[in-house]
Amino acid sequence: MKKVLAVAVAVLGLSCSAGFALNFDQGPDALSLLGQALVEAAKDKTPVTAQAIYQDPPQCQDFVFGPKDPAASQVVPMWSVEYGYRCEPVGNPAAGGTVECGWLPIGVYSVDVKVVLRERKPLLPWESDAFTVCLAGRSLRWSQGATAYDYDEVGEKGGTITLAPGAKRAQRPDPNGITLRSWTPGLVLTLDDKWASYYSGEAALLILKLKMENAGGADALIGEEKIGLPAAPSYVVDFKTLAKDFSQRLVPGAKYHVSISFRRLGSISSGETVGSAQTERVVYRP
């Protein structure tokens, strides 16, 4: 996932006119010994610069491909600056002159970056392929984020990185894939599954927390139910039929609401819990 580019280098012919008194605490840890050597060299010679010993922090760009996006991203210009540590004599060293040192740019590296997916495989409607490309000095690196497939680099020219998909990955399910349809005063909850047809033969695990409103205090957790159901366009849960599992009896006239999350059980998506929907509060009327 690394590539060193032969990118354009603009060497800047800058002097150290803005130099400052030597202070090795301002540079990387490794600078001290190198700086001492530069100082000694500069005492009786022409100014000396240590080449390419410091770089700008990497510049990074995310590239995300959705199911309907083209297989080639837009071009993103990226650049990075490389610095040298320069020491030069000021005045006559033999007559009490000093040596001043400082950072100055010695190279600017730029590249137009594009990511291309070759022989792209289909994504499910909620899936995406995400990559991060970083430029640090002359080194261009890419990394794979949340993707629906394993990707390998199959080509690189200039700043164009070409990737090809391999084995399928189970991605995080759509947190909005199961949504609330209704919550009634009879404490009947109905949920819709937007992607049920894609999960045929698999199951959904509903994680439901029933809470009762307490006047002037925190809502009381009455019961937490984990209900596994075959994937279907809708799911209906009647909390009255679950009352035996609750920490206290249901009270007519009290207000109840439900917190809803879920997992997908099977191989299509990862098994992490998603969703954090909550119903409105309804007054219980048996």
Q: Which domains does the chain have, with CATH numbers?
A: 2-168 (no CATH), 178-283 (2.60.40)
pLDDT at 143 over 60: yes
Among candidates 14, 21, 15, which has minimal Cα distance to 98? 21
* Local confidence band at 14 (pLDDT 50, 70, 90 cut-offs): very low
Average pLDDT over residues 24-43: 56
pLDDT at 278 over 90: yes
pLDDT at 200 over 70: yes
The pLDDT value recorded for residue 25 is 38
The pLDDT value recorded for residue 94 is 63
Report pLDDT digits (tens) over 83-97: 888 777 777 656 666
* Local confidence band at 21 (pLDDT 50, 70, 90 cut-offs): very low
Query: Strands, DSSP E only, in the chain?
Result: 2-4, 8-10, 20-21, 48-55, 59-65, 76-90, 98-117, 129-136, 139-144, 149-157, 160-168, 178-183, 188-193, 203-212, 220-230, 234-238, 255-265, 274-278, 282-283
The pLDDT value recorded for residue 204 is 98
* Local confidence band at 39 (pLDDT 50, 70, 90 cut-offs): low
